[in-house]
Amino acid sequence: MAAEMVGGGGRKRSVEISFDQNYNIQWGGSHFKSLNQGKEIQLMMDTSSGSGFVSKMFYGSGFFHMRIKVPGRDSAGVVTAYYLTSRGDKHDELDFEFLGNREGKPYTLQTNIFIDGEGNREQQIHLWFDPTTNFHDYQVLWNQHQIVFYVDDIPIRVYKNKRILGLRYPSKPMQIETTLWDGESWATEGGRIKTNWSYAPFKANFQGFDVSGCETHQSLNDRHCGSETYWWNSKRYWQLNPAQHKQYENVKKNYMTYNYCNNKQRYPKTHLECQD
């Protein structure tokens, strides 16, 4: 952790710190490069390997972010992922997945939520900017009331805690993971467009390695992680404010390309969590 300061939207942010204070290389060490004295990390992927890194700690709530610039040019089949995940077969997981595309065509940003090992809660958007040219901030708020995915402080997805209706909600301690890997079997047009390895190595860059989260043990989500002494658990973050709600509705109207809640062919019965 590092000294905090207030960032956009009133959220507290930490001053810039180096990668190795909170993270370790997880795999593909030869495809990993540290830049700017550890303030920036580059992951690479070629035919031999992808790469990834993971947080040293587990967290039971928090406001998590990573500044990311995804691979450019022809990136079809390439998946850049930033997510929170618990361990074990019945794991919880909160995903950002950037699905590459042919040069000149838009990336798809897919989010997904796993609870007790069950996912299939995909939503997809096309971003209002080119994510290959500059760094942008991708954020997850996770408390006992809601999970919110943000892009540059703009909410793009909200998942409410509806345990009162008997629905499950992510509650297991999770680590932060970031990976660059080959998803050509599904990532671009359902796998119809394959990875063009002549453009390898593919490179994704990351910044922002401070973590605002309640540290806990892998096997125990401590009750104190729900305490309102943590700013992300305060009443202010139990729901979107009016300005955020307006931004969220704009994203759904103008940028969302797929929502599992609306896929009646795949899910004839409406999911309870999709009912407002």
Catalytic residues: 93, 97
Q: What is the C-alpha radius of gyration for the chain, rounded to an integer number of angstroms? A: 18
Residue in the block written with tokens 């629905």: 167
CA distance 229 to 237: 13
Single out the residue of 73, 16, 26, 76 nearest to residue 54, CA to CA.
26
Q: Which of 16, 29, 17, 148 is nearest to 94 (CA)?
A: 148
79 phi and psi angles, rounded to 5 deg: -120, 120
Element (H, E) at 252: helix 242-254
Return the bridge partners of 80, or none.
98, 180
Q: Is 80 within 8 Å of 98 (Cβ atoms)?
A: yes
Q: What is the dihedral of CA 230, 65, 160, 247, to 10 degrees?
A: 110
Listed in order, strand segments (DSSP E) in the chain are: 4-6, 12-14, 23-27, 32-35, 40-45, 51-55, 58-69, 78-85, 93-99, 108-114, 123-125, 136-142, 146-151, 154-160, 175-182, 202-207, 212-216, 256-259
DSSP symbol at 172: S
Residue 3: name the closest of 168, 189, 172, 212 by CA: 212
